[in-house]
Amino acid sequence: MAFRSVFDGGALRTEFESAGISPHFVPLIWKYVLHNPGCDLSDVPSLPSAAYPLLISKFRPLTSFLSSALDSNDRLTTKLLIRLQNGNSVEAVIMRYDTRQGKYDGKPRSGGPRSTLCVSSQVGCKMGCKFCATGTMGFKNNLSSGEIVEQLVHASRITHIRNVVFMGMGEPLNNYAALVEAIQIMTGFPFQLSPKKITVSTVGIIHAINKLPIDLPTVNLAVSLHAPDQDIRCQIMPAARAFPLGKLMDALQTYQKNTQQKVFVEYIMLDGVNDHEQHAHQLGKLLVTFKVVVNLIPFNPIGNSSCFRTSSEENVRTFQKVLRGVYNIRTTIRQEMGQDISGACGQLVVNLAEQRSAGGASILKDIEDLHI
Ligand code: SF4
């Protein structure tokens, strides 16, 4: 029998309410489990006596476990492989930055060390983007809100997490109800992440973008545009056929009007496909009326089978120069992290599946090897 996670907040509240137990005990259970992830639910103190048999018969503190964690050589990235109770695995990645590095306006930057957790929302993905390892797996299943939050619980045992980005396996807006519930839990007691430190990334599921200003008005939205026109988008992102670029831009206009938030635009740089100077001009014209930050992403090849190549550094710099200089669009280049540990989304799970089918030994370190 499959148990629910206590972090499946809606399910737990419903069970409590129908048993006449106040749902205000729910965050207290979460706090205890967060600090004692190996606990038994009968250990949670100070609950009404009717809560214990209900919890024990239907819920588990955690339904997933951290099967392995792999540090990059520079120790800035830790990739977590998390095993779900249905036997599937998902990835979550901890990325560490120091915002004091470098100078701003000739002065030292403020801030300090930060950790961002990249979480998965689905096992596999239906969207089939051609440059993405997860896209090659097809879709397996949606994660529950509890399974999404549990990734934060596992990561929090390794380091303090300040930011969460939904850029791991899956299209988060295709698992909308679980996404909204997971973010509500992450921003409430005891996690208390600021909604401004949470980013949801989508290929552009228009009907779901239209609901975001109501359900998640203050979280950040990142849109994986990856092309300046519909033809190139369809070529590299088959799902773009269902969400034409013109309609997507209209939805983003409305989103921006309703939330007053800037939108983050993700653009993967693929040699000879979308990285010419003329593409930068097309993109600049498309975005010039928006409040956006464009993030240029050097492509991370998926093994030897990839049909794409990484853009040259020169092309990436020229692209950035056009967007900044001609269109005055804030444009950053994503720092490559974790290349030595299959840093791109889905690579670890895909590698693991390939190794299993080849009967190979695991490339992964055991959890016991973690330096925590
Ligand atoms: S890039 Fe994102 S949306 Fe596209 S296939 Fe990969 S996980 Fe899915």
Question: pLDDT digits over 291-313, tens only?
Answer: 999 999 999 876 555 789 999 99
238 lines ligand 1 (CB under 6 A): no
Provide the residue type at 264 as one letter. F
Query: For residue 197, what pLDDT is reported?
Result: 97
- Ligand 1 center from residue 20 Cα (angstroms): 42
Give mean pLDDT, residues 39-64: 97
Residue 104, pLDDT above cutoff 60: no
What percentage of the chain carries pLDDT values higher than 90?
Answer: 80
Q: Is 261 exposed, middle or buried (0-12, 13-18, 19+ CB in 10 A)?
A: middle
Residue 334, pLDDT above cutoff 90: no
Q: Which atom of ligand 1 is nearest the CA belonging to 171?
A: 3
Higher pLDDT, 268 or 342: 268
200 lines ligand 1 (CB under 6 A): no
Query: For residue 97, what pLDDT is reported?
Result: 83
Q: Which atom of ligand 1 is nearest the CA belonging to 169?
A: 7
pLDDT in tens, 173-191: 999 999 999 999 999 999 9
Query: For residue 210, what pLDDT is reported?
Result: 98
Q: Which atom of ligand 1 is nearest the CA belonging to 122?
A: 7
pLDDT in tens, 210-250: 999 999 999 999 999 999 999 999 999 999 999 999 999 99
Lowest mean pLDDT among 81-85, 103-107, 131-135, 175-179: 103-107
- Positions annotated as catalytic residues are 91, 345
Lowest mean pLDDT among 51-65, 89-103, 235-249, 318-332: 89-103
Q: Strand locations in the chain, DSSP E?
A: 4-5, 59-60, 65-71, 77-83, 89-98, 103-104, 107-108, 113-118, 122-124, 139-142, 163-166, 198-202, 220-224, 263-269, 292-298, 330-333
- Ligand 1 center from residue 264 Cα (angstroms): 16
Query: For residue 339, what pLDDT is reported?
Result: 64
- Ligand 1 center from residue 129 Cα (angstroms): 5
Query: For residue 369, what pLDDT is reported?
Result: 26
Query: For residue 113, what pLDDT is reported?
Result: 78
124 lines ligand 1 (CB under 6 A): no
CATH number of 64-371: 3.20.20.70
Number of helices and strands in the chain (H, E): 12, 16
Q: How far is CA 132 from CA 26, 164, 288, 303, 304, in A?
A: 38, 20, 28, 11, 13
Give mean pLDDT, residues 313-340: 91
Residue 134, pLDDT above cutoff 90: no
171 lines ligand 1 (CB under 6 A): yes
125 lines ligand 1 (CB under 6 A): yes
206 within 8 A of 176, measured Cβ to Cβ = no
252 within 8 A of 209, measured Cβ to Cβ = yes
Q: Is 198 exposed, middle or buried (0-12, 13-18, 19+ CB in 10 A)?
A: buried
* SS3 assignment, position 325: helix
Closest Cα to atom 5 of ligand 1:
135
Lowest mean pLDDT among 85-89, 112-116, 267-271: 112-116
Closest listed residue to residue 234, CA positions, set 306, 128, 325: 128
pLDDT in tens, 354-367: 544 443 322 222 22
How many beta carbons lie within 10 A of that of residue 117, not counting itself?
Answer: 26
* Domain parsing of the chain, residue ranges: 4-59, 64-371
Give the C-alpha separation, 21 to 17, whole Å.
6
Q: Strand locations in 183-234, DSSP E?
A: 198-202, 220-224
Query: For residue 110, what pLDDT is reported?
Result: 66
Give mean pLDDT, residues 27-35: 97
- Ligand 1 center from residue 173 Cα (angstroms): 11
